[in-house]
Amino acid sequence: MIKSILKKRDSVSMAMVLHLLTPGLGHIYWNEYLFGLFIFLITLTASVLFIVSLFIAIPVPVRLVIYGLPLLFYFFSFFDLYRSVKARTGRLKHTSRRIWVCLITGILFQFLWPLAPANFGVRNCPDIFIQDNNNLAPFYTEGDVLKASSLAYFLDVWIVNKKIIHSLPDRFELVRFRSETNSKLCGWVIGLPAEEVEMIDDILFVNNTPIFATSESVPMLRGNLPLTSAGAYSVLVVTVRLGSVDQIREVPLTHIIGKVGIAF
């Protein structure tokens, strides 16, 4: 592998790999320092604005401009890099030290910068698990490989010391959560923050108003549940056993692992 890397150090493919690892690094590798730095700063600014947009309301058209233009610029920079490498091939030779420094820099960037794909993917990867019973039937049965996607509700970036909530679960969504004993359970959300919920003779009441499921993707919950209130930062989740409601739990938003779906 080392010999292969050294052999391709002056190739277009190596420049593209560096440009993928760190925006602008491919141009810097081929001595286009100012343009490479410019590309890096453009994408860096877009990343910072993305984080800022999580805390303040930004209209959708503005978001498209903020994120779309840098991505478009980055996309077309690959064509410029291809042209530059082709024009300089044979006239510029790279040392083995230069390629290793650039490769290590690119890899470190992927794992240290919070919004680099590798770092972001590791911190926000879904929780994969095997369903160990038929309590979720007919949607999922014993042996199904499922995932709990935290990205449906949260973003985890290391520059913020806690997960950023960007969306609340919808009513009747299946979620995976941590119980009071720290065990991982699955259940359906029936109550949102600050709501009062009860179930009488298979009918769900939310704030004294009956709620009926209108989709085939929503379970037909059966049974009775006592009047339960959700706090301002929690949801009400019901677990099911043998087709009937088992227990209602008030789950803090921070205890939700993610939205459940089929993994494979």
Res. 217: pLDDT tops 70: no
pLDDT over 70 at 2, yes or no: no
What mean pLDDT is predicted for residues 88-111?
A: 87
Categorise residue 242: left if φ over 0, alpha if ψ from -120 to 50, beta otherwise.
left
pLDDT at 216 over 70: no
Q: pLDDT class for 65, splitting at 50, 70, 90?
A: confident
> How long, in residues, is the chain?
264
User: What percent of the chain has pLDDT above 70?
Assistant: 94
Least confident segment among 19-33, 113-127, 151-165: 151-165
Would you say residue 60 has pLDDT above 90?
no
> Which ranges in the chain are annotated with CATH 2.10.109.10?
127-262
How far CA 26 is from CA of 43, 72, 114, in Å, comes to 14, 17, 21
- What is the rounded CA–CA span in Å between residue 127 and residue 258? 8
CATH homologous superfamily of 127-262 equals Umud Fragment, subunit A (2.10.109.10)
State the pLDDT at residue 239.
93
Candidates 165, 140, 143; CA nearest to 154 is 165
- pTM assigned to the model: 0.76
Which band of pLDDT confidence, cut at 50, 70 and 90, is reported for residue 250?
A: very high
For residues 223 and 201, what is the distance between their CA atoms, to the nearest angstrom? 6
Digit-coded pLDDT (tens) for 6-15 = 677 778 889 9
Residue 222: predicted pLDDT: 86
Place of tokens 């510029």: 92
Residue 124 has pLDDT above 70, yes or no: yes
Residue 192: the pLDDT is: 95
User: Which pLDDT tens digit goes with each residue over 130-142?
Assistant: 999 988 888 899 9
**Among residues 172, 182, 127, 131, which one has the least CA distance to residue 149?**
127
Distance CA 155, CA 164 (A): 5
Burial classification of residue 104, based on how many CB atoms lie within 10 Å of its CB (0-12 exposed, 13-18 middle, 19 or more buried)? exposed
Helix or strand (DSSP H, E) at 119: helix 117-123
The one-letter amino acid code at 114 reads P
Residue 46 in tokens: 């877009």
User: Positive or negative CA dihedral for 207, 208, 214, 218?
Assistant: positive
